[in-house]
């Protein structure tokens, strides 16, 4: 697979070294063997399901590499699932723990996307509404994280006391 990448503007590149790796797909040819498609605009639909999954995975990879909190949430999720397996919690409890951890990670991805769009919109200037948008998105992640910790405590503590 050969993908053309754009270079992020210099101010973004300096503040985010991950973008220096030319990771973000932009306009140009996306070739897959004999099948090539144009993705010049963000609103264009991926040519097939596999390309769609690649774009989605690129977003997850970007968040993991560039967002410290996403890496922390990933580690905590792995710890929570490991504890669930070690404590032999039942399938329903494991599903609840997994879903609450996934909710936190999904909200962290949405928070990252929102912060990127806000930064794109306001540039390097300050705006009260940009601060509100970013703070509210971060607050959603915080509330989900607290809820996930409570869910884990309610599920794991009884198993630890046995």
Q: Which residues are catalytic?
A: 108
The span from the CA of 52 to the CA of 74, in Å, is 23
Rounded to the nearest angstrom, the gap between the alpha carbon of residue 13 and the centroid of all alpha carbons in its chain is: 19
What is the greatest pairwise CA distance in the chain? 60
- Write the DSSP assignment of 33-91 as a string of letters: TTEEEE--STTSPPSSHHHHHHHHHHHHHHHHHH-HHHHHHHHHHHHHHHHHHHTT--H
């Amino acid at each position: 697979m050969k993908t053309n990448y754009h270079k992020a503007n210099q101010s973004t590149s300096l503040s985010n070294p991950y973008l220096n790796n030319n990771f973000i797909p932009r306009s140009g040819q996306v070739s897959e063997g004999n099948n090539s498609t144009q993705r010049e605009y963000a609103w264009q639909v991926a040519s097939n399901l596999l390309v769609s999954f690649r774009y989605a995975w690129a977003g997850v990879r970007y968040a993991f590499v560039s967002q410290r909190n996403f890496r922390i949430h990933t580690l905590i999720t792995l710890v929570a699932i490991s504890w669930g397996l070690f404590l032999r919690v039942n399938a329903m409890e494991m599903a609840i723990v997994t879903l609450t951890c996934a909710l936190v990670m999904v909200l962290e991805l949405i928070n990252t996307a929102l912060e990127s769009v806000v930064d794109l919109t306001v540039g390097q200037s300050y705006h009260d509404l940009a601060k509100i948008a970013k703070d509210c998105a971060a607050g959603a992640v915080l509330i989900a994280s607290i809820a996930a910790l409570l869910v884990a405590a309610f599920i794991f503590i009884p198993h630890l006391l046995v």
